[in-house]
């Protein structure tokens, strides 16, 4: 397998430019209504899950980053990412939107981030009001899960206000915040192969738009290099872990993925690897290295 192999082939059907433009227009419209943007990233791939034009769209509006699916991410490396964002003046909060871990810290961070804006409004003679925010992120990053968590299950809708179309609903969070009950969907960047692979591994892009067999082999190669003990432990493998193809065969044998005649059922083994990886059963990972890996040691 070489770097030039065209294994990630995104068909224009799913990522139709017109669809992207429409999504972007909607995001731009809704942005006018909010004080703070909550950018959701996948904690395992904080670079690959970022939208390429978000900064340009958001401008200098205050932004809080959520490192979502933190339960699946390598903790030490995630802490380094938090430091890296902090060095750029951005608060990043690790969150598990399913279990609710980190949500309290996130609410505090959003309120803090919005304060200069809401204070300024009051200084200019406006009535004090809750800070308004919206969630932005690529598909599958956990936007709906986080909205559900933040709303505490029972959504307290804010009354319609003049100038805001009736369709827009706001969710009250405590006394200080209101969240737009409609996340902004942005597309990931596919141009570079590494990014596309990371999106495929984590399930951010649909399995039917790329060659699963090749992607799983590359995933196994990555895990073999970065997280060999998790891999060995999960599949009770012994000795040297060779290449992806041999690993897949070994996993298939261990898991009894066999076809008639004793041949390995590779498709079945591939699905086992993908499901185990995405659910964290192969351990917590970080696929996008933080800018300075040496900081990991300090964070441990």
The binding site for ligand GDP (CB under 6 A) comprises 68-69, 71-72, 96-98, 137, 139-145
**Choice between 137 and 244, CB closer to ligand GDP:** 137
Helix (H) or strand (E) holding 133: strand 131-137
- Minimum CB separation of residue 148 from ligand GDP in Å reads 8
**Choice between 65 and 72, CB closer to ligand GDP:** 72
β 177-180/170-173 pair status: antiparallel
- Minimum CB separation of residue 263 from ligand GDP in Å reads 33
Dihedral Cα 258, 276, 207, 18, nearest 10 deg: 180
- Minimum CB separation of residue 50 from ligand GDP in Å reads 14
**Choice between 144 and 275, CB closer to ligand GDP:** 144
- Minimum CB separation of residue 5 from ligand GDP in Å reads 29
Q: Cα–Cα–Cα angle for 84, 89, 95, nearest 5°?
A: 65
- Minimum CB separation of residue 128 from ligand GDP in Å reads 32
**Choice between 46 and 142, CB closer to ligand GDP:** 142
Minimal CB distance to ligand GDP: which residue? Answer: 142
Dihedral sign, Cα of residue 201, residue 220, residue 81, residue 151: positive
Collect all residues with Cβ–Cβ distance below 8 Å to 93 and sequence separation of at least 6: 64, 65, 66, 67, 82, 102, 105, 106, 109
**Choice between 14 and 144, CB closer to ligand GDP:** 144
């Amino acid at each position: 397998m070489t770097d030039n192999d065209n294994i990630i082939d995104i068909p224009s059907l799913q990522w139709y430019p017109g669809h992207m433009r429409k999504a972007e227009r909607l995001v731009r419209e809704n942005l006018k209504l909010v004080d703070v943007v909550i950018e959701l990233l996948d904690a395992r791939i904080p670079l690959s899950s970022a939208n390429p034009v978000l900064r340009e769209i958001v401008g200098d509006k205050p932004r809080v980053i959520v490192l979502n699916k933190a339960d699946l991410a390598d903790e030490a490396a995630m802490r380094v990412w938090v430091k890296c964002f902090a060095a750029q003046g951005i608060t990043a909060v690790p969150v598990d939107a399913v279990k609710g871990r980190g949500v309290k810290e996130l609410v505090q961070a959003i309120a803090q981030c919005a304060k200069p804006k809401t204070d300024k409004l009051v200084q200019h003679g406006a009535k004090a009001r809750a800070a308004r925010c919206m969630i932005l992120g690529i598909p599958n990053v956990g936007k709906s899960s986080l909205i559900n968590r933040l709303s505490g299950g029972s959504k307290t809708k804010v009354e319609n206000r003049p100038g805001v179309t009736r369709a827009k609903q706001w969710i009250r969070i405590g006394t200080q915040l209101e969240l737009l009950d409609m996340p902004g969907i942005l597309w990931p960047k596919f141009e570079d192969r590494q990014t596309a692979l990371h999106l495929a591994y984590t399930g951010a892009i649909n399995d039917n738009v790329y060659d699963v067999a090749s992607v799983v082999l590359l995933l196994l190669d990555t895990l073999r290099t970065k997280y060999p003990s998790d891999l060995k432990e999960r599949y009770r493998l012994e000795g040297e872990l060779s290449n992806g193809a041999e690993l897949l065969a070994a996993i298939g044998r261990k898991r009894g993925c066999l076809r008639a005649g004793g041949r390995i059922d590779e498709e079945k083994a591939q699905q086992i690897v993908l499901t185990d990886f995405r659910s964290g059963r192969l351990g917590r990972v970080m696929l996008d290295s933080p800018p300075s890996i040496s900081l990991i040691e300090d964070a441990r």
